[in-house]
Structure 1
């Protein structure tokens, strides 16, 4: 296991993910998650409440605060922040996600959903106390993401980036599954573990500072464990990568066969984190 981890360069993983998202054009992003939109909200792990509470405290947000959320998806983080009573403008290019987040936030009248991309969104300068991104900011082109976020904030506004890194089975279970991945989906052959995930989070934080748009970065992270049924674990996997139907069928059948040898559930581990940084003076 240690040898395997030593072969992984955390920065290379960040760059690989960035190239993958960069290669997906805006039109593709509008429908990228549509095949799994209905399972995304329930399949993805929740963001830890303690990290959400800390981000609200660090960003000095009171109940009258206004938040711009970039790439809200079906509302996995939106609902948690809406419960504080904030006014929220939520940008999401995927129409299917927009319908879902509207339903999920129906009881929060101060939440407004905009079916557009951050790139196309008409900038409202200095209107928001915070800009929020939950596992979404890496989809925005690097030349836009930080500068436009800073321009949308009030002076002394805050950037809040929430991250749930990839939930993974224990390494001994992954080793059994790797044969199936190699056979049907070689691009899935990637195991990070806590050390590499910590390096990835450090890289995300450094990107914030390197933008020169933000200062006083604070990072909070926690190790998470979740247990999924095999059915729900396979649904979770379907939200991370797109596969052709026939490939997905073969891959999932192979994974199920291997996983059933360990029981009827899968224990997953991952790091969850929040980056909070203050807008730098112009």
Structure 2
């Protein structure tokens, strides 16, 4: 993602069809829930503290997926309205928060959702803001936020093996997945993700942008790493047979290079901006 136009229309790389976009992750919702990294509870709490969300405040979550961040928000005692267009992801999220009366999960997207005179202390998008259609989204967020409310953009970057391992993987996938075959260091990840927050500030509706990040390293089994890959959009967009072929090639390669476990790194980032 090299420029504003690519950022604003990111999802159209994979599907310009609004109906397809609503259920893009539907087929991998269970896998997504199992292998995608969670959001560190302390880091999420820090983001909400920076956003000055009051205790038991009202949060609108955009694109909650299978409830990756929603569970923590529920446990922290916030009142949450979570929007998710994928029915499969909605059902998983509802299971995760079934014990919490302070959470409402609605099967819709932000574009079609009607506020019905509701307002919120914060609007949070956890690795989902790039899927919201750019037309008027900042205006709608500002409209729904209370005075002094905050937009909170929370991200986990794509998980990557070390560069020397990634180079071998890239040789296998670059013909089919050129955008996924480029290794990104931490500074590149931060710079690309920061563009979304910069665009929000440039809308003139938000001020006082604050950014914080934390770096993580974890070990995955080869099976879990290959399953993780299937939850990333470039892989979802592949023809099923070709995806299976590439994954099998990677399985053989990783067994040779890594043994049983593959080390992965990623960055958690938040951007908080206050309503003007």
If the length of structure 2 is used for normalisation, what is the TM-score? 0.92
Q: 1:25: Cα distance to partner?
A: 2.4
Q: 1:180 aligns with which of 169, 172, 181?
A: 172
> Which runs of 5 or more structure 1 residues have no equivalent in the other structure?
1-9
- Deviation at residue 199 of structure 1 after TM alignment: 1.2
Q: 2:9 pairs with 16, 19, 29, which one?
A: 19
Equivalent residue runs for 1:68-217 within 5 Å = 68-125=60-117, 127-217=119-209
What is the distance in 2 between the residues matched to 1:200 and 1:185?
19
Q: Distance in 2 between matches of 1:34 and 1:49?
A: 26
Q: Which runs of 5+ in 2 are unaligned?
A: none
Alignment of 1:251 with 2:246, yes or no, is yes
Task: Output the CA distance in 2 between the equivalents of 1:75 and 1:180.
Answer: 33
Distance 1:273 1:237 in 2: 21
Aligned-pair Cα RMSD in Å: 1.7
Counterpart contact for 2:7–2:195, Cα < 8 Å: no
| Alpha-carbon distance in structure 1 between the residues aligned to 2:55 and 2:201 | 28
Structure 1 residue 179: deviation in Å? 1.6
Question: Residues of 1 paired with 2:84 and 2:20: CA distance?
Answer: 13
Spell out structure 1 runs of 4+ moving beyond 3 A: 14-20, 183-187
Aligned position for 1:277: 273
Distance in 2 of aligned mates of 1:187 and 1:56: 33
How many pairs align?
270
Deviations 1:138-192 (A, max 9, x none): 1111222211111111111111110111111110001111121035544432221
Q: Distance in 1 between matches of 2:49 and 2:176?
A: 45
Q: Choose from 211, 226, 236 the match for 1:234.
A: 226
Of 258, 264, 267, 2:260 maps to: 264
> What TM-score comes out, normalization by structure 1 length?
0.90
CA 1:99–1:200: 2 relative to 1, 3 Å:
same
